[in-house]
């Protein structure tokens, strides 16, 4: 009963913050500048990572690029330099802990102390819609993406608890993207996304400091209704969404 009464006392704040949130939807938020900012991008040798690196290069950020593919990461770095940015490429196997620690030593001095001391920075997690809603036959993939979303949420809360609110967090959760990772993916939520469209939305989310980016936006609706609708209706709804693909291919490096 005591908890219920405390919740009732918070209703005025709920109304105020809801109205504030609705108002912000109609007022374009000013984009922040990332010129001269140090930006570390993992998986920058291909796909979303590569295109994101190009966008930061156009804005004259200082780029630190990681990827397991030596040729891919060097090509990305060369293009970023052509666009006028400083870019440093490192071959890193992000599934290899020793590789991560070894390369992190070269970049940690430029990132972690400055972020925490200056209360300034931005950490972006690339997850998936599959990090919010389970998909049949993608058990391992969904597990990793749920972990990524959990990391983002826990990190956001931890930074708030440490009063480091100047260190921003963003999580990208798109539907299927046409990068070759899945063979013939499709869903009735909409057409398969093109990488350029996703990166455009991602950059807008970063520059306007959005916490969670769903592409398409209808995915956010599904994440809400999943928590409140009856289980049998949800099963019917998921059949209507009709997620399908022929195979998981994964990314290939040159020579494979």
Distance between CA atoms of residues 56 and 130, nearest Å = 27
The residue annotated as part of the active site, out of 54, 101, 141, 251, is: 141
**CB 13: neighbour CB atoms within 10 A?**
9
Give which of 75, 180, 253 is closest to 57, Cα–Cα.
75
Active site residue 101: no
Q: Which burial class, exposed, middle or buried, applies to 181 when counting CB atoms under 10 A from its CB (0-12, 13-18, 19+)? A: middle
* Cis geometry, peptide bond prior to residue 116 (ω within 30 degrees of 0): no
- State the Cα torsion 161-165-168-172 to the nearest 10°: 50
The SS3 call for residue 135 is coil
**CB 58: neighbour CB atoms within 10 A?**
13
Q: Which burial class, exposed, middle or buried, applies to 153 when counting CB atoms under 10 A from its CB (0-12, 13-18, 19+)? A: middle
Alpha carbon distances (Å) from 216 to 11, 109, 170, 173:
31, 37, 16, 9
- The answer to whether 146 touches 129, Cβ cutoff 8 Å, is no
Please give the positions annotated as active site.
Answer: 141
């Amino acid at each position: 009963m005591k908890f219920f009464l405390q919740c009732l006392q918070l209703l005025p704040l709920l109304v105020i913050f809801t109205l504030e949130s609705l108002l912000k939807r109609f007022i374009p938020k000013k984009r922040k500048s990332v010129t001269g900012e140090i930006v570390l991008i993992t998986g920058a040798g291909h796909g979303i990572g590569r295109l994101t690196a190009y966008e930061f290069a156009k804005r004259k950020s200082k780029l630190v690029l990681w990827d397991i593919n030596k040729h891919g990461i060097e090509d990305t770095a060369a293009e970023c330099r052509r666009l006028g940015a400083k870019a440093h490429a490192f071959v890193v196997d992000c599934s290899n802990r020793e590789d991560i620690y070894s390369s992190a030593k070269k970049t940690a001095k430029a990132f972690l102390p400055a972020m925490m001391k200056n209360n300034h920075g931005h950490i972006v997690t690339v997850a998936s819609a599959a990090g919010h809603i389970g998909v049949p036959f993608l058990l391992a993939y969904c597990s990793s993406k749920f972990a990524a979303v959990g990391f983002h949420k826990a990190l956001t809360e931890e930074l708030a608890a440490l009063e480091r609110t100047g260190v921003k967090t963003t999580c990208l959760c798109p539907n299927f993207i046409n990068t070759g990772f899945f063979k013939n993916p499709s869903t009735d939520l909409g057409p398969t996304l093109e990488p350029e469209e996703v990166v455009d939305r991602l950059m807008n989310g970063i520059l306007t400091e959005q916490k969670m980016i769903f592409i398409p936006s209808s995915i956010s609706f599904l994440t809400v209704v999943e928590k409140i609708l009856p289980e049998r209706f949800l099963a019917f709804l998921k059949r209507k969404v009709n997620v399908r693909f022929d195979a998981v291919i994964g990314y290939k490096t040159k020579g494979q």
